[in-house]
Amino acid sequence: MTKPLRVGLAGLGTVGASVVRLLVQDRELLARRGGRAIDLVRVASRTFKPDIDLGGASFDTDLGSLDTPDVDVVVELIGGEGDAGDVVETAIAAGRHVVTANKALLAGRGNELFAAACRNGVALGYEASVAGGIPIVNALHKGLAANRIEALAGIVNGTSNYILTAMEEDGQDFAGALAAAQRLGYAEPDPTFDVEGIDAAQKLAILAALAFGTGIDVAGVYVEGIANVDVEDIGYARELGFSIKHLGIARRREDGIEARVHPALVPESELLAKVSGVMNAVMVHGDAVGATLHMGPGAGGMPTASAVVADLVELARGTLPVPAPATAELPSLGLAGVVCPHYLKIPAIDQPGVFAEVADVLSRHRISIEAVIQRPQAIRSGEAPWVPIIILTDEVAETEVEVAVAELGNLSGVSGAIARIRVADLSAMMLGP
Ligand SMILES: NC(=O)c1ccc[n+]([C@@H]2O[C@H](COP(=O)([O-])OP(=O)(O)OC[C@H]3O[C@@H](n4cnc5c(N)ncnc54)[C@H](OP(=O)(O)O)[C@@H]3O)[C@@H](O)[C@H]2O)c1
């Protein structure tokens, strides 16, 4: 009879407890699926949790207890880079397979860890590290293996999507929507990582490396979070036929990889515009298949455990691959060379001639105007009453719009900061050069 796959688990928190539950409760089903038993033999974590049924596995507070010949695969669910990195590194060096949900670790040290796994001939499963329960790593690795991936774009941070959805659907401001997300447990007490786009950038870097066969380069991702999105912008975007989403976009270009994370106006006709709440979704364009959309819960104990355990089943079957070395040395381009339409909100002093000045600046930078909204009733009173002018531009290069916005800000008729949000025309982007 085939030997069981012996699992050592590090971390008994939200995801770890759910993994234990699946491994213990669904033992027989998973054995059938994997072609052999998947036995949880050891658990190591900081705190013993008497309420969790470990199904006979031993418990230790020492993470070193997993470094033993009776463990075939170490599942790392601690988080962070320090101890988690040591656990993963030790396991790989000892010739043990690893499964992890830790995007921060992969974003920081993934290249080194994948290279070590490759050298040692062990698998490194990371399905759970991106977009929680969505099997996007598997899709890119297997289902889309016949394709040259041209572009991918997605909502990969559930917290930001929850906040933007609450702002759009309930008219809450950013602070109110964030507080609601925190009350519901969708946002951490310190939400920086999510709302500033760092978490999304890490996930995008991991996906881009897989899609384009490059190394992981988080530093090469342009990052902008959602904290500056105003509920008023969401309203105007809606009038113009768009929803504002926080997107991660990666595209293969001739000269390298464009990778960026920022709020974007998404046409309401696009499926991504309809992805609401904490859901995640990733759109992938392959040269053979065209556009595909992968959607599901991006976080939570059980959805994430679903991805972790799927990696274990693959490992039991012998189909979880040993990482291959990166095949392409493509430079990260960040935002350089990006050309797209823009949404601009310009605070214009309520006096004749300001719109003409604005139009003149845009025209000198060869920026065409697609749509304008200016409502006298939107006037803000004060020493110098002003009114927002909303402009939707045609496609314009990043460098050009930056200079134009700086010039607009210097006009005497403009009384404050100009809001600028990129438009993601996904259909064009997926088909574009
Ligand atoms: N939660 C999600 O929805 C989700 C989704 C996708 C990916 N992930 C990733 O999954 C991983 C785990 O997340 P989580 O939400 O389950 O985190 P968590 O609830 O904080 O659990 C972490 C567990 O590790 C233990 N731990 C932390 N540091 C330790 C150390 N130095 N030595 C021993 N044990 C230690 C903790 O002990 P205590 O019990 O004493 O705190 C806790 O049991 C992270 O990499 C996270 O990014 C999570």
| pLDDT tens digits along 320-365 | 999 988 777 889 998 888 999 999 999 999 888 999 999 999 999 9
pLDDT of residue 378: 77
Residue of 9, 12, 15 to test ligand 1 pocket, by largest number of atoms within 8 Å of CB: 15
- Atom index in ligand 1 nearest the CA of residue 307 equals 6
Residues with a catalytic annotation lie at: 203
Query: Domains in the chain, ordered, with CATH?
Result: 5-129 (3.40.50.720), 145-297 (3.30.360.10), 339-423 (3.30.70.260)
- Closest-CA residue, ligand 1 atom 7, reads 101
Nearest-atom number in ligand 1 for the CA of 103 is: 47
Nearest to 258 by CA among 152, 334, 339: 334
What is the average pLDDT value for the chain, to the nearest integer?
A: 95
| pLDDT band with cut points at 50, 70 and 90 for residue 81 | very high
CA–CA distance, 75 with 90 (Å, rounded to integer):
12
| Residue bearing the bigger pLDDT, 377 or 139 | 139
13 alpha carbon – ligand 1 mean position (Å): 5
- Measured in whole angstroms, the distance separating CA 12 from the mean position of its chain's CA atoms is 24
CA atoms within 13 A on the CB side of 176: 11
Ligand 1 site-directed mutation target among 22, 60, 78, 198, most atoms within 8 Å of CB: 78
78 CA → ligand 1 middle, Å:
4
**pLDDT at position 318:** 96
Residue with the nearest Cα to atom 18 of ligand 1? 13
Name 164's Cβ contacts closer than 8 Å, sequence gap at least 6: 177, 226, 229, 234, 244, 245, 246, 263
Q: How far is the CA of 224 from the centre of ligand 1 (A)?
A: 26
The ligand 1 atom nearest the CA atom of 83? 31
For 369-394, give one letter per residue: b (16+ CB within 10 A) or e: eeeeeeeeeeeeeeeeebbbbbbbbe
3-state secondary structure 292-324: EEEEEECCCHHHHHHHHHHHHHHHHHCCCCCCC
- Residue 431: its pLDDT value, please? 57
Residue closest via CA to ligand 1's atom 27 equals 78
Q: Which two tokens stand for residue 264?
A: 């974007």
11 CA distance to ligand 1 centroid (A)? 6
Q: Which of ligand 1's atoms lies nearest the C-alpha of 17? A: 16
Nearest atom (ligand 1) to Cα of 300: 3
* Nearest-CA residue for atom 32 of ligand 1: 46
> pLDDT tens digits for 365-419?
999 999 999 987 778 877 778 899 999 999 999 999 999 999 999 999 999 899 9
pLDDT, one tens digit per residue, over 97-116 is 999 999 999 999 999 999 99
Q: What is the distance in A from the centroid of ligand 1 to the CA of 426?
A: 35
Distance CA 269, CA 199 (A): 27
Task: Specify the pTM.
Answer: 0.95
- In angstroms, what is the span from residue 23 Cα to ligand 1's centroid? 18
Q: Which residues line ligand 1 (CB under 6 A)?
A: 11-16, 45-47, 63, 77-79, 83, 101-103, 128, 132, 299-300, 304
